[in-house]
Amino acid sequence: MNLQFKSVASPYCFLEAPRSDGGVLWFADLLLGGLYRLSPGGEIQVFLKDSKHIGGVVINEDGAIICGGSSGLSWIYPETGKSGTLLNSVNGQPLPGANDMCPDGKGGLYFGTLSHAGEYGKPPSLTALYRITADGQVALLRDGLKFSNGIGLSPDGRRLYHNESLLGTFVYDVLPDGSIENRAVFSSKEDCDGLTVDSEGAVWIAYFATGELIRYRPDGSIDRHVPVPHKAVTSACFGGADNRDLYVTTAGNEGIDALLKGINPPREASVFHARVEVAGLPVPRTRFRLDSKSGG
């Protein structure tokens, strides 16, 4: 199935972390830095201009934006500009950056760590998957991971999908306390990056080397291949009033190859938009108390 994609934001260097909040779309430029807000009217504003390697964004219930990056988990109130750090260390040890993330439906979130804190020109180091609760309790769920990337939950919250770039996509059972067990292969396609889940429980996975999204049924079988105008497809999210707007971020056509060489790719990355038949799964907000937090 070919969707009709239209570019709604360009040109950038290496886009990631799309997250829709009502009619607003948030996204980040991994290499040039900055957290961007695209309004329904097409106006783009930039926040956290010096923040690089933002690979994940979630919305807090009080309107704050929580994002990853080389310094860990950070937050900002867009209307006031007030910002701070949610988490930058675990058990007294510095956190090696935070990459993609997903709200856990209980006020906290799941997140993976960065490889070499975003120094992508180096051979990848092993990463880890964590959960932080709404009251700030941090639990290591799994370490020794290839390259932690996209994270999503099934509609009932009982399954967690997790991309390990350069290895494949895995699925876990989620226990009542938010921990995970029973790791199983969901897809063995190695160039997986971000992912999102729709209201039918299907998993849409972005692929950074083959120019496509793939929609997987909950049993792991492929429902459809969705070509995207650029080769390096990095992530996707749903949005709009009916959650049938699909937003896809890319790193252009040369983004991944340049990143692995430690250089910036040409500025051709875009955010693409298309309408889809099946609505996306609503993403819950986190419930962190941030106004008094200034460190991890």
Backbone angles phi, psi at 118, to 5 degrees: 90, 5
Cα–Cα distance for residue pair 125/255, rounded to 1 Å: 20
Q: Which of 193, 219, 245, 257 is catalytic?
A: 193
Cβ(233)–Cβ(248) below 8 Å? yes
Q: Which two tokens stand for residue 232?
A: 């390096």
Q: CA 164, CA 185: separation in Å to the nearest integer?
A: 11
Nearest Cα to Cα of residue 249 among 14, 51, 66: 14
Is 156 in the active site?
no
Exposed/middle/buried for residue 98 (C-beta within 10 Å: 0-12, 13-18, 19+): buried
> Which residue is it, tokens 């700030």?
136
- CA–CA gap between residue 50 and residue 64 (Å, rounded): 18
Element (H, E) at 256: helix 255-260
Over the Cα atoms of the chain, what is R_g?
A: 17
Sequence-distant (≥ 6) Cβ neighbours of residue 288 within 8 angstroms: 60, 64, 66, 75, 86, 107, 108, 134, 136
| Residues 83 and 51 sit within 8 Å (Cβ to Cβ) | no
- Check if the beta carbon of residue 153 is closer than 8 Å to that of residue 159: yes
Catalytic residues: 193
